């Protein structure tokens, strides 16, 4: 049976609720892959390097023969790994360019009684598709507010009521110098973008949705530039929570974290804080005076936030005044503004 090759759009549609197998090497898979795909590498990293070197030195035929020598003893294991992961007879397969690796693996599955479909153009075509989606026009509205305003919690309380995209959740980072503390390790940029696209495609692009106001970089993950340009022009719902309440929120949020990690974060912004403030913050962390540390760092972040707003030339800023840090109450205030503005 000939293996059917599908264009990327059809491949993604057909992949719903089916096993997707990435047959590239482990290092390729780790750098970036389709969300939900499993890795059954046709060649491991060393084998792939060997074949690549042979291809350049002696040509395609020599490389193919060596590839067959490597793969032949593994054929039964490939089938076992695949069938152990799914009871569906249809399996989706891709390699880097949709060439020999995916076609060979697809042929093997077909021979074993499964039905394989491969991705035309491979992972490269998928990546091109992903990046183009960020260029589409979206009806964005940003949720803004100074550090400690509880924007992430507000979004969580809006789940099921207002559509939103959780960029900090995708990046495993809260955006500030302290943002990686207590979070899972950040993903490689390609995986961040692939997961970003996966969430974005679930949102109705014809309707407004919320995105937290972010810098282009969230930790070391970067928002795709085309999407970032749209964020720069989007209206902002800016929640204004009193300073003292934001201090309390930060103390509650970071109070149980490792002191040495907090110290390192302070050192990371020492140039901005200045030597005296940095020295005081490090001493206060040793003394458990977390409110004092939060107060000093918040003053720095407030200045930086306001400065960034003046640079971004935001067209519309919708102010939300509040006298509470309660995320449920503040979510209702944000929802009201979002709903009213969305009618225009």
Q: Kindly report each contact of residues 181-190 with a partner whose C-beta sits within 8 Å and lies 24 or more positions away, as own/partner.
A: 181/254, 181/257, 181/258, 181/261, 181/262, 181/265, 182/254, 182/257, 186/219, 186/220, 186/221, 187/221, 188/30, 188/31, 188/32, 189/32, 189/220, 189/221, 189/222, 190/31, 190/32, 190/127
Identify the helix (H) or strand (E) that includes residue 6: strand 4-6
Question: What pLDDT is attached to residue 209?
Answer: 95
* Other CB atoms within 10 Å distance of the CB of residue 60: 10
Domains in the chain, please, with CATH? Answer: 4-130 (3.40.250.10), 136-342 (3.40.50)
Q: At what angle do helices 275-287 and 290-312 cross, to 10 degrees?
A: 140
CA gap 41, 25 in Å, rounded: 5
- Cβ contact 233:185 at 8 Å: no
Sign of CA dihedral 173, 176, 182, 186: positive
Q: What is the signed CA dihedral for 258, 260, 261, 267, rounded to 10 degrees? A: 150
281 is catalytic: no
Backbone angles phi, psi at 188, to 5 degrees: -55, 155
DSSP 282-302: HHHHHHT-HHHHHHHHHHHHH
- Cβ contact 241:143 at 8 Å: no
CA gap 245, 290 in Å, rounded: 14
Question: What pLDDT is attached to residue 193?
Answer: 98
Question: What pLDDT is attached to residue 12?
Answer: 96
Residues 6+ apart with CB under 8 A from 87: none
Taking only the tens of pLDDT, the chain with its 344 residues reads 568 999 999 999 999 999 999 999 999 999 999 999 999 999 998 988 888 888 888 888 888 888 888 888 899 999 999 999 998 889 999 999 998 899 999 999 999 999 999 999 999 999 999 999 999 999 999 999 988 999 999 999 999 999 999 999 999 998 877 888 888 999 999 999 999 999 999 999 889 999 999 889 999 999 999 999 999 999 999 999 999 999 999 999 888 888 999 899 989 888 888 999 999 999 999 999 999 999 999 988 888 777 666 665 556 889 999 999 999 999 999 999 999 886 65
CA gap 328, 249 in Å, rounded: 14
Q: Which among 210, 213, 240, 209 has a CA at the least distance from the CA of 308?
A: 213
| Residue of 51, 95, 109, 177 marked active site | 95
């Amino acid at each position: 049976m000939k293996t059917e090759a599908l264009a990327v759009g059809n491949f993604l549609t057909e992949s719903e609720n089916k096993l997707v197998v990435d047959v590239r090497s482990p290092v390729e898979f780790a750098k970036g892959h389709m969300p939900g795909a499993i890795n059954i590498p046709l060649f491991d990293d060393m084998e792939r390097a060997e074949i690549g070197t042979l291809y350049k030195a002696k040509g395609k035929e020599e490389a193919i023969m060596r590839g067959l020598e490597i793969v032949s003893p593994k054929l039964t294991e490939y089938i076992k790994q695949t069938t152990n992961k799914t009871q569906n007879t249809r399996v989706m397969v891709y390699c880097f360019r949709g060439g020999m690796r995916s076609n060979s693996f697809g042929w093997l599955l077909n021979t074993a009684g499964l039905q394989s479909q491969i991705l035309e153009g491979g992972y490269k075509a998928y990546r091109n598709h992903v990046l183009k989606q960020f260029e589409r026009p979206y009806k964005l509205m940003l949720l803004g507010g100074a550090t400690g305003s509880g924007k992430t919690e507000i979004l969580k309380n809006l789940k099921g009521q207002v559509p939103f995209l959780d960029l900090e959740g995708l990046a495993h980072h809260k955006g500030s110098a302290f943002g990686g503390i207590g979070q899972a390790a950040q993903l490689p940029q390609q995986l961040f973008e692939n997961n970003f696209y996966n969430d974005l495609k679930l949102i109705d692009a014809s309707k407004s949705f919320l995105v937290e106001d972010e810098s282009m970089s969230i930790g070391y993950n970067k928002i795709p530039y085309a999407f970032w340009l749209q964020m720069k022009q989007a209206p902002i719902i800016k929640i204004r929570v009193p300073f003292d309440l934001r201090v309390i929120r930060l103390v509650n949020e970071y109070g149980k974290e490792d002191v040495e990690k907090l110290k390192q974060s302070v050192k990371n912004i020492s140039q901005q804080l200045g030597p005296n403030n940095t020295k005081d913050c490090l001493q206060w962390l040793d003394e458990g005076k977390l409110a004092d540390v939060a107060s000093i760092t918040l003053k720095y972040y407030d200045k930086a936030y306001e400065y960034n707003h003046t640079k971004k030339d935001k067209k519309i800023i919708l102010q939300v005044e509040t006298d509470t840090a309660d995320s449920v109450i503040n979510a209702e205030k944000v929802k009201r503004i979002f709903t009213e503005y969305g009618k225009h």
